[in-house]
Amino acid sequence: MQYRPFGKLDFQVSALGFGAMRLPSKSADYTDIDEAQALEMIHYAIDHGVNYLDTAYGYHGGKSEILVGKALKGGYRQKVKVATKLPVWLVDTVQDMDRYLDEQLRKLDTEHIDFYLFHDLNKDRWAKLERLEALNWAEKAIQKGKIGHIGFSFHDDRETFKKIIDAYPWTFCQIQYNYLDIDHQAGQFGLQYAAQKGIAVVIMEPLRGGRLANPPEEVQKIFDEAPVKRSPVAWALLWLWNQKEVAVVLSGMSNLQQVKENIEIASSSGVGLLSPEELKIIERAREAFERLPSINCNACKYCLPCPNGVNISRNFELYNDAFQKIAFEDARRKYLALPEEERASSCLGCGDCEDLCPQELPIPELLEKVARAFEE
Ligand SMILES: NC(=O)c1ccc[n+]([C@@H]2O[C@H](COP(=O)([O-])OP(=O)(O)OC[C@H]3O[C@@H](n4cnc5c(N)ncnc54)[C@H](OP(=O)(O)O)[C@@H]3O)[C@@H](O)[C@H]2O)c1
């Protein structure tokens, strides 16, 4: 494993961090975590040098923190820093913040959360936290020893990012960043802006939720023709680690094979290792992606459960497969094999999902588009 500086802290973080948002499940129900497999994956990662574990109150319908708590038994707690997040959208009062933090400590079965984030900040949520004087609250939680350091995860535009960064001497922040997102949300600007202030930048969605692992043919062709042979995952991750401003790259790995592969890639990573020719290959891959029709869903499942049972991210994934991979019939067959309530056409347009989407997708409108594409 390679280790990298974590902002101004006296802590060397592993290049790869474990994101506990896409753990394997025993059934199609993502709250039904396959505990044995998930524990094996987390223990394998820690045994091979991963020292940063990221979870959140809501992951896997609230079960991720409990699973992480179990993974920390048997001496693993001392080997890893734990990060979790306050569900800001559920908070209305200071008492709510106390209540969630105490519940999270219980679920994780730990005395202390090393890195505590305000989850999924945007302009409105930041305004709410300011009203609640949440930073004062967080500093008190640090004094009480419940939290080590305060940070935030972010999904909004770069102006909002700059405003939040400038408002407080944060230890760390977490942004969505990958070779498609250079100019999206905080983007490369945000990465560099935070890093030059000495704030550790934690990267989430490095493979755009998995889409960069299995790219469309046009993109795969660019990688196949490259003089250096690498998997699409290796191209995407090495591109991130090539940048000195990146502290740790979180990957939401969903099986042991992925954990092994990503650890191996991390071990060969480093700042400035990619040549100008290799960086050009990534640029061409980005351009090829941008030419294709796409629904910008990262399958984070923050929008679920849908009150009517629509499997939102699966519908968008099938749409992208149909049009990016030119596999329309195959995707349509899979769409029609979904239980009727999970299909896009079962959307009632209530819009409950829209407020929760970090990508700010107009979900009901897009579901209508998917339904039209597959059912008409
Ligand atoms: N704070 C926030 O607002 C927020 C939002 C999103 C994420 N996060 C955190 O950031 C972490 C990382 O983000 P992410 O989960 O979106 O990461 P990601 O790396 O972009 O996506 C993870 C997915 O990529 C695929 N993958 C990973 N390694 C692979 C490999 N070696 N070969 C093939 N496919 C591979 C898997 O997809 P398949 O399952 O399809 O194989 C996996 O589920 C999350 O787990 C979570 O902890 C936070």
pLDDT (tens digit per residue) in 224-267: 999 999 999 999 999 999 999 999 999 999 999 999 999 999 99
Residue nearest to atom 40 of ligand 1 (CA): 210
53 Cβ below 6 A of ligand 1? no
pLDDT on residue 326:
63
pLDDT (tens digit per residue) in 303-341: 988 999 999 999 998 998 888 766 788 889 889 999 999
Best of 250, 255, 260, 268 for a ligand 1 pocket test (most atoms within 8 Å of beta carbon): 250
pLDDT on residue 330:
83
pLDDT (tens digit per residue) in 288-309: 988 887 888 888 888 988 999 9
Q: What is the DSSP string of 286-332?
A: HHHHHTS---------TTPSPTT---HHHHHHHHHHHHHTT-HHHHH
- Widest Cα–Cα separation across the chain: 60
pLDDT (tens digit per residue) in 156-210: 999 999 999 999 999 999 999 999 999 888 999 999 999 999 999 999 999 998 8
β pairing state of 12-14 and 3-5? antiparallel
3-state helix, strand, coil in the chain (%, to 5): 45, 15, 40
209 Cβ below 6 A of ligand 1? yes
pTM of the model: 0.90
User: Ligand 1 centre from 54 Cα, in Å?
Assistant: 11
